[in-house]
Structure 1
């Protein structure tokens, strides 16, 4: 398979193009960003942080890595890969950004599904340095960046595809970095997502869904797909990883977490909505 690292990065301080110079990325203004020994670059200025270590913690990343690498969400990853590759030309690398990539599971699966048929130029970005460290350790081929969806360190109109999975979409930024005709693939939780787990950890279960948004400005709607799975988790480790990798672990009270930790098996619904949007052509 042909997988290359996306390299059209920009300085998070002044927006100018970055060029790799040895073990650092530098802009014409003299700002320099070292490449970490794991192979990623940190492009989130301290003044743009809301906390010392924003995003997922090391424990959440470890739990997500263990759970996803067990294959439980592979049907979702395969459906996302299908949406990303739909309509993709074979003559040149498809530039793909996962905005909120976590530990890189969905990009790794995309590369596997693409095989040798679709050349890819890949960038994974997440606000959590722990997530990016884990992603870089597992696959050195993509570019991995610590950064924010609110200020993507990416050249304008340089991406063919943009993924936003269970994340925080910033449509103005997504539209800026996508080429005309480029596609956004967005995945959100459905109303029954993890309903059995939520029934155990919360006194009252609410629908797990976000409010319906109007069509993002500058985009046209291409497709929507609902995907539902029933997972049979047969050990406490997998149940604990599923809980720990979600925000529910921190929202639940001590009694709810204790009830989940006591489980030895769980049949749980996974329900997502996969939408594809196309950026308006000039």
Structure 2
């Protein structure tokens, strides 16, 4: 467990958590255990929308298999290049830790925290690195002391600015990574009849929450994915997995290979400055 864990707070009462062996306890005697894999489970029952929220084991396995091919490494590299400081870095919705582990390697002097609501994802993340503090917790209100995080990463994850604002230091930054309009267009053309350009731009939502965009970076390139298990792994790590009819999945399995457009947009935000 890294030193950054000293900044953790109890998700029930928001008092500091103190380590005692493998147990973490706040002054109000709320206790949390370190799992054998190395993560701390700080997700409360009332923060769950299902018995096992987030990615299941199959999706985690698919993400790991695909990301380990390195096809998305340019996205990771662009993210790493946008991190302007070390200090404490919090990756919200870190999944199985691919991007988090590569970021920690890029800035080894930083204290990195990876947080996800999925226990299966965090179990996978623990296998990637023992130098990162891994948490099963809610990203709506990260269980970290107020104002202690220097950089927050939100990668392909729904934005929850109020909770991020609570955690962020005065001069801290939030970096978001979202899909652009042409992302995986060729895959979508295979599995849907009606395909539209679609993407998410977080700027308006962040401005409403009191942040200004100070940098935007677009990452576009093409990559060829082999048919069979590699292409199926990519499909299974996307939200399309839950929307597509079985016969369309069979169509995917019949493809020898597929050349895809990768289209991703990164934004860097800081709190708006008062110009009056």
- TM-score using structure 1 length: 0.92
Q: Quick check: 131-140 or 106-115, which moved more?
A: 106-115
Aligned residues: 271
Q: Is 1:260 equivalent to 2:258 in the alignment?
A: no
Q: Deviations over 1:137-195 (max 9, x none)?
A: 22111100001111211110000000000001110111110101100000010010100
Shift of the 5–78 alpha-carbon distance from structure 1 to 2, 3 Å rule, reads farther
Q: Quick check: 201-210 or 8-17, which moved more?
A: 201-210
Q: Shift of residue 235 of structure 1?
A: 3.7
Q: What residue is the counterpart of 1:6 in the other structure?
A: 4
8 Å CA contact 1:240, 1:260 repeated in 2: yes
Q: Shift of residue 219 of structure 1?
A: 1.5
Distance in 2 (alpha carbons) for counterparts of 1:5 and 1:192: 41
Q: What residue is the counterpart of 2:240 in the other structure?
A: 248
1:132 aligned to 122, 128, 148, which one? 122
What SS class does the counterpart of residue 19 from structure 2 fall into? strand
8 Å CA contact 1:178, 1:279 repeated in 2: no
8 Å CA contact 2:98, 2:128 repeated in 1: no
Distance in 1 (alpha carbons) for counterparts of 2:156 and 2:168: 20
What SS class does the counterpart of residue 217 from structure 2 fall into? strand
Distance in 1 (alpha carbons) for counterparts of 2:241 and 2:121: 18
1:146 aligned to 136, 148, 154, which one? 136
- TM-score using structure 2 length: 0.94
Distance in 2 (alpha carbons) for counterparts of 1:281 and 1:107: 29
Q: What residue is the counterpart of 2:35 in the other structure?
A: 36
Q: Is 1:218 equivalent to 2:210 in the alignment?
A: yes
Unaligned runs of 5+ in 1: none
Shift of the 5–169 alpha-carbon distance from structure 1 to 2, 3 Å rule, reads farther
8 Å CA contact 2:178, 2:201 repeated in 1: no
Q: Is 1:109 equivalent to 2:99 in the alignment?
A: no
Q: Shift of residue 258 of structure 1?
A: 1.4
8 Å CA contact 1:39, 1:144 repeated in 2: yes
What SS class does the counterpart of residue 158 from structure 2 fall into? coil
Q: What residue is the counterpart of 2:45 in the other structure?
A: 46
1:207 aligned to 188, 197, 211, which one? 197
8 Å CA contact 1:181, 1:281 repeated in 2: no
Q: Which runs of 4+ in 1 moved over 6 A?
A: none
Q: Shift of residue 233 of structure 1?
A: 1.1
Distance in 1 (alpha carbons) for counterparts of 2:9 and 2:107: 27
Q: Shift of residue 280 of structure 1?
A: 4.5
Shift of the 211–138 alpha-carbon distance from structure 1 to 2, 3 Å rule, reads closer
